[in-house]
Structure 1
């Protein structure tokens, strides 16, 4: 009873495994590794199911049918066994080999069901169990399968020595093949002697195939556990590389920002201060990590367009002429052109381009109104305006913090986003 329960449990396990593998075959661009594994374990599941049924009290005609079904699953190994092994080891094989093994298996299985050349339509009692009467031809085919398995065993060992697979533990496979060969041989000897060679195991060949399926399932699943372990390790290494790359990228952006600030002797450190103010606003707004990263880059590069403004205009102490103001108003346009040449800066183009827009539509370069202006650009506008007011300029003195706050209140909802201004003033009053 316990043996039957174990057999059914293993049948169910292999059946579900085979269904899962066939599903993966269709989901992974028809990867034949999953197809052959699915067919192999499906044959094993059919073998175990028929073995389970034959240990129950069923009619003689059913015993004959399920005996034939069992050997059909076994003879299917002529095709699916080598394909499964070679696909696991990534060992190449020819189309001719695949075609011949498939045709041979199909012919044997057809003759098995269509004729009594292999199994007679009557039963005999052997070791306390009723079994269908098998012919010498059936045992000859089983013997061929054993020889086929021996050859595959030799081929696997040779391949393993010449090119050791890194993603699979072949030791359970080798143990399973050896046990299947030994117990298959014992079964043939016992049949010809008409006595069970091992009384505790009335069907040695069934036991051998059963053990073969278990060891191959172990090897197949361990293959993917090794792959997943390596993937986890690779993922950690990639994440570390990305972190280092992001750090280097940010340092590069900061270097550009410092270079730009150095161009204007009155605004040294401006970009970093704008960054500091903007990130505090972002925290209050609970922006996502991705938005914060974009905001960080945009803050550091928001004035990159000033590289096209002559130093004489940037540092002029008097009032700018209309022509000189055109240089100033064109710097967001130039910034977009410069950053647009670098793929990594594509997400911040509109942010940098729009940071001088006003919520009342009187800003530049497009004259956009409130919601048409990106949120991150509106944040930068508030931070940029405050730092500009509290910094020395060639044409005026720096405002005090209190004066700058009053000016922010005056221009909110016209020049600047009122909600962001209120949040920023709250931040300033708590520091």
Structure 2
């Protein structure tokens, strides 16, 4: 609805909303998101607190005041596309217009930095895009013939397309989008299968592990493992009985018969890490190792697939505590955010490993995109109801052959393994 077709009441509401959003953004850019209160924004916009909350239910929503326009625009791009127009092409064109429009705003760079510097904004942005994801996935699913795994693949395509729309500092929006949509349309070309051995670092050409052989844990290590397990189990029992938000760390320490200091020694990342115990550094090293030391003839995609298949929601032999933790994470946004951040922490290291294995230039966009997409698979499995392993398989096929070819019975890329 344009201002010309609005009634007087609607025009006044739109101007008030815009004034609040402009005042908020100006304050956030000047002082930082965490240093500005909602009351500060209301005073700067000359509105009451109740008036502000009629337009913006949360402080975070003040930063993203065009959410509905984005959602409606990108979904309509698929639903209202010209007959015969490829879905990925219309989405790419819509996103290029959207990102170029954002880039023309002189405050765009500062806006991106604002979001990156405030975890609350980053989490809000992620949840905002996830709300669009399901609706966009349904539109994409309806646009192509149905097939095995089609709904899962459509959800992944929606996630990866929306990933391109999230605020960041692209060096060239057109180049970034071209790389993203080429990967989505055609799949990963597996340049690592063609890279000559001499193009790879000499200490990485062997499939053998360079890690020293592991030894059985000693008494000290076993006692530490028992303490960790007791803390985790106590936390899960309390979270499930009363809800994650209603349990404090001190209560968990008391239930595990340990001190607060001991609890934080084992879990320095705080309450969320109690549900997902493990060292991020070790997790990243294991993922990179899987890429560098994959078996002969195995692609990077299959190496990461096989590594993930033994972990998290994809493992076939999860114990009762692990199953409870996964159920809790699905029901708790803060835990879902933490799990995604834990996987995403490996992004730079995985990008470097892919780039080196495939003998690609250090700034290759496709390697960076593949790493981003792979590390979102566990979160997609958490978001999609059903078999997590099936989700892993379908999205790996999608990334191998592209969409919608990944839904067909086309033979896998040379060098991949069957599952």
Q: TM-score, normalised by structure 1?
A: 0.23
Normalising by structure 2, we get a TM-score of 0.23
Question: Which of 1 and 2 has greater Rg?
Answer: 1
